[in-house]
C-alpha cells in the first residue's frame, strides 16, 4: 500500500504540474514515510492508522524527524522540498 500511495502522489504531481496541493496518505508511520511523500509532491500528509498504533506522540516524532531530514538534504523549509525528488 505504501509504495502504491507514494506512486500516486508522483503521478498526480506530474499530471497537475504541481499546480494543486496534494495530500500524501496511506502507510505514513514515520518521518521517513512523510518525507518520501513530501519529496514526491505532497504539500500535506495525513496520519490515520499509525495514530492508533503509535499514539498521540507520533506527530511530534514525525516533526522532529522531518527537521533532521530537511537539514540532511539541505532544505530550510518544507515548501522547498515539495516535489523535489
Domain limits for position 8: 2-81
- 12-52 pLDDT, tens per residue? 999 999 999 999 999 999 999 999 999 999 999 999 999 99
pLDDT at residue 83 greater than cutoff 90: yes
Give the number of domains in the chain. Answer: 1
Q: Is the pLDDT of residue 79 over 90?
A: yes
The residue written with cell numbers 508522483 in the block is: 10
Burial of residue 44, with CB atoms counted within 10 A of its CB: 0-12 exposed, 13-18 middle, 19 or more buried:
middle
Give the pLDDT mean for 58-70: 97
**Bridge partners of 44?**
23
- pLDDT band for position 2 (cuts 50, 70, 90): confident
Whether residue 1 is predicted with pLDDT greater than 90 in this model: the reply is no
Amino acid at each position: 500500500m505504501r509504495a502504491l500511495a507514494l506512486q500516486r502522489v508522483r503521478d498526480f504531481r506530474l499530471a497537475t504540474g504541481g499546480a494543486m496541493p496534494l495530500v500524501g496518505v496511506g502507510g505514513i508511520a514515520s518521518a521517513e514515510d512523510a518525507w518520501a511523500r513530501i519529496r514526491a509532491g505532497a504539500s500535506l500528509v495525513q496520519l490515520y492508522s499509525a495514530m492508533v498504533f503509535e499514539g498521540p506522540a507520533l506527530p511530534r516524532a514525525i516533526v522532529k524527524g522531518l527537521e533532521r531530514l530537511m537539514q540532511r538534504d539541505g532544505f530550510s523549509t518544507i515548501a522547498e522540498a515539495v516535489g523535489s525528488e
